[in-house]
Structure 1
Amino acid sequence: MTEVVMRPAPEEVAARAREILAAIKEDREFGAFEAATLEYSSDWQCTTGFPVIDRWNLENDAPPLLVEGLRALALKAAVYQMTGDENAAEIPVAVPVDEMTHAMIAQPQLLARIMDRVGVSVIHQTDQEHTDWTHGDYTHRAYRAAWGEEPPARYWLDHAEVVRRRAVLAELYDSIGLHRSGREHRIDFATV
């Protein structure tokens, strides 16, 4: 039996998420946090997250993805603050946006200090996350209510489309010897 997750109305979450995001951006360390997150690029090597974006380019796509990742974290923080339920706060997020939240969470000291001053918690646990975002779902409705616009389709890819694109990538990776989408190869570096 599937567990039913109770969440506040998207409009209620949206109002709090706007406040949270504004406070994050006004924090005295936000500039350092932003710079550190965008500098994380040398470690952004996930082969199934960002590469699902058409004509992905780290330098061009990272800044707008930072905006989307912050919006996702603000929505999640708002749900958690309103419910106290970590499971409820793990709202569906599109795969590329989720990847950006990982880059943000990789700045733990800065992020923790900012969130402490803002008075909210960052909710993210890989085995609990939901990257099955779809157009019209709870997250989509809360996003539209919060920011008065559609999530950018370039980054907010429906789950079914991500699955399709990952299959394309897996076939391409396999053709060059990167098996299981880059989780395995048989390269012996001593002989290459």
Structure 2
Amino acid sequence: MSQVDLPAADAVASAAKRILDSIKDDPQFAEFRAASLEYSDDWQCFTGFPVVAQWNLEADAAPLFEEGLRALALKAAVFEATRDDEAAEVAIAVPVDEMTHAMLAQSQLLARIAARTGAVIIHQTDQEHTDYRANGYTHNCYRLAWGEPPARYWLDHEEVNRRRAVLAGLYESIGMGRSGREHSLDFAGASA
């Protein structure tokens, strides 16, 4: 973790709201949103979205897109205040982080929007923190900006780990090892 002191939560909240509004006001925002949500055919992560109880891609995609935007705005606000990539990688809940990946996959659109708005979009896998906890720094910043985050998506780290263990057991029961990172299926003679 960075040695830079994190800015006050109220300052981050104010900046994050401004950044989010400028992103949404961008002329290519609708295109960016549509492209991010269209990415759904490739949303095959076994341990990100499936930790959401009764996950449903069609019902959850749009609200989770909003949460991903808010997470990116919070990170951009921390970066704006600190100019430190590592400090800006504040703790994000796993399902929200997974949605940011779908958004970041629209790299050219997001880069153009960021350039026009002046926002610096932060995300680096080896520095990210998915150990979000209620009443932690990210939660406090979020709450001051937009109110209480939806608990459906902003799951505490320990609860995510518990749910991942449940999923891992279920995946194992059908031959999917290491939560989908390997399997014992050879597909010989298998039909759809």
* TM superposition score normalised by structure 1: 0.97
2:75 maps to a residue whose letter is K
Amino acid at match of 1:12: A
1:108-156 deviation line (CA, Å, top 9, x unaligned): 0000000000001110001110000000000000001111x11000000
CA contact (8 A) 2:2 2:86 kept: no
Does 2:73 match 1:74?
A: yes
Match of 1:179 in 2: 177
| 2:105 aligned partner | 106
TM-score by length of 2: 0.97
Alpha-carbon contact 2:71-2:92 (below 8 Å) kept:
yes
In the aligned structure 2, how far is the partner of 1:8 from the partner of 1:113? Answer: 27
Distance across 2 between alignment mates of 1:5 and 1:153: 29
Aligned residues: 190
- 1:65-101 superposed Cα distances (whole Å, 9 cap, x missing partner): 0010000000000100111000000000000000000
- Selected match of 1:162 from 160, 163, 177: 160
Cα distance, 1:43 vs. partner?
0.3
2:172 alignment partner, SS class: helix
In structure 2, list runs of 5 or more residues that go unmatched: none
The change in CA–CA distance for 1:109 and 1:71 in structure 2 (over 3 A counts) is same
Alpha-carbon distance in structure 2 between the residues aligned to 1:60 and 1:53: 12
RMSD of the TM alignment (CA)?
1.0
2:188 corresponds in structure 1 to 190
Match of 1:62 in 2: 61
Q: Does 1:150 pair with 2:148?
A: yes
Aligned residues with identical type, % of pairs: 65
Report whether the alignment pairs 1:11 with 2:4: no
Q: CA separation of 1:185/1:100 partners in 2, compared to 1, >3 Å: closer, same or farther?
A: same
Contact 2:4 2:82 in 1 (8 A): no
Please say if residues 171 and 179 of structure 2, whose CA atoms lie closer than 8 Å, have aligned partners that are also in contact: yes
Structure 1 runs (4+) deviating above 2 angstroms are 2-5, 189-192
Tell me the distance in 2 between the aligned counterparts of 1:190 and 1:26: 52
Residue 191 of structure 1 deviates from its aligned partner by: 3.9
Q: Which structure 1 segments of 5+ residues have no match? A: none
Q: Distance in 2 between matches of 1:105 and 1:128?
A: 15
